[in-house]
Structure 1
Amino acid sequence: MGTGSGALQFCWLVFRHILHGGDQVLIGELARRTGASPKAIRLYEARKLLPRVPRKGAYRVYGEEHVQQIQVIRQAQVLGFTLTELGSALKADQVEPDWETLLQQLDRKKTAIRNTIRQLEQLELQVDRIGADIRLCLAESANTSQALCEGVARTHMENMPNGHP
């Protein structure tokens, strides 16, 4: 998502608006196009994550900018972002996302993922150590009770913070 992509996206939206007369749709069609449920779309609107939604009579009418914004929201959710996290980058008074803020959020998400990977790698090492000790115990004590090996595993667990890795 380079800084130039926002300008290109805006130009594309203007072109589509001119070509299709605004291409305005009701919520059912918007849901079909984006894969978001009408309930989710209303939630995005209530959380002010979508640009202002105009009305024709009693009906909300959505344009291409809403399609694009919902696609950004759904893609961000797949990456693990919450709607609250997206609030700073997606605002009702903006036609498109704040790409710089989204980029910063992606960087923070990447850091969090790396930290989680490190924690999981440490957990994997601990599991390997416990497994190796139990295998060794079983190999050395073929004629002894398995209670001894269970004690080895229990000792490992007791030595971990909060009783777990």
Structure 2
Amino acid sequence: MYIGEIARLTGASAKAIRHYESLGLLGRVERAGAYRHYREAELQQVQLIRQAQGLGFRLAELVALLGGRTGEPDWLALAQAMARKRASIAGEVARLQALDLRLQAVSEEILGCLETTPAVLAQCDLTPPARVLSEA
């Protein structure tokens, strides 16, 4: 199949497919004269690349993982890279949850002060709520 067909089937642009090839992610692509001729293996490789990118992998990371010129992805290395990415995401989730708790505390503090009478409101230190925000 030609580049237009593989682009249509994978959702990757022709430019992206040529870029994958230049990085060595597709191995050796056959040529029919001036035209690239893609096989089923390259179609599957482009689909795998697109799926990996959708999971947050950069092309630079994929070069070592997806086999390139050897033609076969390093499945063990790919699984290990996914485990590392999941651990990184878990850390980011924990960081965001802690941030959410701090935001909730500041919001509750502000709302608590706003619910008080005007005489007591003057005692609320709302600007800036540095005590809670500085704990970040």
Same fold (TM over 0.5): yes
Question: Given the two structures, how large is their TM-score scaled by the length of structure 1?
Answer: 0.75
- Say whether 1:126 aligns with 2:126: no
Deviation readout 1:143-164 (Å, 9 max, x if unpaired): 566794532524433x24xxxx
Picking from 91, 103, 107, the partner of 2:83 is 107
Query: Are the counterparts in 2 of residues 53 and 61 from structure 1 also a CA contact under 8 Å?
Result: yes
- Say whether 1:67 aligns with 2:46: no
Q: Corresponding residue for 1:47?
A: 23
Query: Are the counterparts in 1 of residues 66 and 72 from structure 2 also a CA contact under 8 Å?
Result: yes
Q: CA deviation at 1:91?
A: 3.0
Q: Corresponding residue for 1:83?
A: 59
CA RMSD between the two structures: 1.9
Deviation readout 1:107-137 (Å, 9 max, x if unpaired): 0111011001000011011001101111111
Q: CA deviation at 1:87?
A: 1.2
Question: Given the two structures, how large is their TM-score scaled by the length of structure 2?
Answer: 0.90
Query: Are the counterparts in 2 of residues 134 and 152 from structure 1 also a CA contact under 8 Å?
Result: no
Q: Which amino acid aligns with 1:79?
A: L
User: What stretches of structure 1 of length at least 5 have no aligned partner?
Assistant: 1-24
Aligned residue for 1:36, secondary structure, equals: coil
Aligned residue for 2:41, secondary structure, equals: helix
More off after superposition, 84-93 vs 40-49: 84-93
User: What stretches of structure 2 of length at least 5 have no aligned partner?
Assistant: none
Q: CA deviation at 1:41?
A: 0.1
Q: Give me the whole-angstrom Cα distance separating, in 2, the residues matched to 1:71 and 1:38.
A: 13
Q: Give me the whole-angstrom Cα distance separating, in 1, the residues matched to 2:84 and 2:53.
A: 15
Q: Give me the whole-angstrom Cα distance separating, in 1, the residues matched to 2:123 and 2:22.
A: 59
Q: CA deviation at 1:29?
A: 0.7
Q: Give me the whole-angstrom Cα distance separating, in 1, the residues matched to 2:123 and 2:45.
A: 60
- Say whether 1:37 aligns with 2:39: no
Q: Which amino acid aligns with 1:39?
A: K
